[in-house]
């Protein structure tokens, strides 16, 4: 997962999940197979009750199978799967069951801790249920209740797209996951990011991790990774802006130690007690930082210059970024106090990270 992108101004367009796309393709393919007639558009009902019509790009049909594809539209969300070609190949069977087979570009689950069993295609429970319901309704409508369907979901270049996700560290190998609980992609949704945090921690715990490294994103993780060469990839969690939700999840499990990396801009908000550090939600409080520096014994022009700064990252122009600098020690102490309240039984170590990768550790 890359660093968080700023939310653009103005109204944002919603999109549709990979699960909704996979369901549309499965329904279209099964309808085409039963009727032996190609499908160009198909309407499905999303889990939230909304009906939506999807365009079918290709419908390749023969007597035994049908393959349909559509292109995912994620709206204005910076989703790595936006524009991806998602498809489904279906074949009738005599078992009466809806079976999910491994498709190219869809990952395979290889680690415990996810909602899907090891060895299964990474198609989450809600998309599976959507596809099952769509298939069963079509079979019943055409008097084929005793038939089942083999469903193979695939994603063109899914293996390449997956490299831009955290799938591999979750043990999802070979492609992307088919996701979605509502069928709708809400641009810049906090819920989807928080769900990925919870999922990551669940996988770490299920695989025996008792120590985590949590950080805001790829940049801070790059600096921290060298300090923890013995930890597996699944022990590294991106909290984005949702420090509170991350720590609350950690508190419910068996994690014994948390190493938390934080950049200066987020740290001044956290020190004040703000657990959602998104710039759109909370701006840094210059007066709070001024008081923090005053309590450390700084005075004169240095204090006044704090109020002139346009961003917290420029505090390094006033305070030397080094171990022992009272300002950073006091700042980290306040961050520690905020976080430790949420994980009182977990050993917590903070790493304040500068933009060049230098860090200050607290406690030492």
pLDDT tens per residue, range 343-361? 999 999 999 999 899 999 9
Averaged pLDDT score across all residues of the chain: 93
Confidence of residue 215 (pLDDT cuts 50, 70, 90): very high
So what's the pLDDT on residue 314? 94
So what's the pLDDT on residue 243? 95
Tally the C-alpha atoms within 13 A of residue 306's C-alpha that lie toward its C-beta: 19
pLDDT higher than 60, residue 280 = no
The percentage of residues in the chain with a pLDDT greater than 70, rounded to a whole number, is 96
- Token duo for residue 109: 């689950």
Cβ neighbours of residue 64 closer than 8 Å, sequence gap 6 or more: 91, 92
Residue 301: strand, helix, or coil: helix
Asked if 150 and 131 touch (Cβ cutoff 8 Å), the reply is no
DSSP 206-234: HTT--EEEEESSHHHHHHHHTT-TTS-GG
So what's the pLDDT on residue 2? 47
* 312 backbone dihedrals φ, ψ, rounded to 5°: -65, -30
Please give the helix or strand (H or E) that residue 53 lies within, else none.
Answer: strand 51-55
How far apart CA 296 and CA 5 sit, in angstroms, is: 34
- Which residues partner with 59 through β-bridges? 68
Distances in whole angstroms, Cα of residue 113 to Cα of each of 158, 238, 255:
22, 17, 14
- Which residues partner with 86 through β-bridges? 70, 155
- Token duo for residue 346: 């977990």
pLDDT in tens, 156-167: 999 999 999 999
Helices (H), 240-285: 243-251, 264-271
Count helices and strands in the chain by DSSP H and E runs: 10, 18
Q: Looking at residues 102-122, what average pLDDT do you find?
A: 97
Quick one: CA torsion of 322, 325, 331, 334, rounded to 10 degrees?
A: 120
Q: Looking at residues 182-196, what average pLDDT do you find?
A: 86
The percentage of residues in the chain with a pLDDT greater than 90, rounded to a whole number, is 83
So what's the pLDDT on residue 21? 98
Helix, strand, coil fractions of the chain, as percent rounded to 5: 35, 25, 40
- Token duo for residue 75: 């709206």
So what's the pLDDT on residue 188? 77
How far apart CA 263 and CA 238 sit, in angstroms, is: 13
- Each residue of 248-281: b (16+ CB within 10 Å) or e? ebbeebebeebbbbbbbbbbbbbbbebbbbbeee
pLDDT higher than 60, residue 3 = no
Q: Looking at residues 314-323, what average pLDDT do you find?
A: 95
Asked if 40 and 26 touch (Cβ cutoff 8 Å), the reply is no
Domains defined along the chain, listed by start: 15-185 (3.30.2110.10), 209-362 (no CATH)
pLDDT higher than 50, residue 56 = yes
How far apart CA 204 and CA 235 sit, in angstroms, is: 6
pLDDT higher than 80, residue 10 = no
So what's the pLDDT on residue 201? 97
So what's the pLDDT on residue 8? 57
So what's the pLDDT on residue 220? 87
Please give the helix or strand (H or E) that residue 159 lies within, else none.
Answer: helix 158-162
């Amino acid at each position: 997962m890359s660093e968080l992108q700023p939310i653009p101004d103005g109204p944002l367009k919603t999109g549709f999940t990979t699960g909704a796309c996979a369901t549309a393709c499965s329904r279209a393919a099964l309808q085409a197979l039963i009727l032996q007639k190609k499908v160009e558009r198909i309407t499905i009902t999303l889990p939230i009750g909304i009906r939506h019509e999807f365009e079918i790009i290709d419908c390749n049909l023969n007597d035994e199978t049908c393959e349909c594809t559509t292109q995912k539209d994620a709206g204005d969300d910076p989703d790595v799967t936006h524009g991806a070609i998602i498809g489904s190949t279906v074949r009738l069977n005599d078992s009466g069951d809806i079976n999910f087979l491994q498709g190219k570009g869809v990952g395979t689950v290889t680690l415990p801790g996810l909602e899907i069993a090891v060895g299964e295609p990474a198609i989450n429970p809600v998309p599976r249920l959507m596809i099952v319901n769509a298939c069963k309704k079509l079979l019943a409508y055409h008097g084929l209740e005793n038939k089942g369907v083999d469903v193979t979901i695939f994603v063109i270049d899914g293996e390449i797209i997956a490299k831009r996700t955290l799938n591999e560290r979750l043990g999802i190998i070979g492609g992307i996951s088919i996701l979605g609980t509502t069928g709708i992609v809400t641009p810049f949704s906090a819920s989807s990011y928080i769900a990925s945090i919870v999922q990551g921690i669940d996988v770490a715990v299920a695989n025996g991790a008792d120590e985590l490294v949590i950080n805001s994103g790829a940049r801070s993780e790059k600096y921290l990774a060298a300090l923890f060469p013995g930890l597996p990839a699944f022990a590294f969690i991106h909290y984005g802006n949702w420090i509170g939700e991350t720590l609350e999840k950690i508190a419910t499990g068996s994690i014994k130690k948390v190493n938390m990396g934080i950049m200066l801009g987020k740290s001044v908000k956290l020190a004040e007690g703000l657990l959602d550090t998104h710039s759109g939600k909370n701006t840094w409080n210059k007066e709070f930082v001024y008081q923090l520096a005053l309590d450390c014994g700084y005075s004169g022009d240095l204090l006044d210059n704090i109020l002139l700064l346009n961003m917290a990252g420029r505090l390094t122009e006033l305070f030397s970024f080094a171990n022992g600098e009272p300002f950073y020690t006091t700042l980290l102490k306040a961050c520690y106090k905020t976080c430790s309240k949420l994980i009182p039984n977990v050993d917590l170590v903070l790493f304040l990270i500068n933009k060049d990768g230098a860090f200050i550790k607290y406690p030492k």
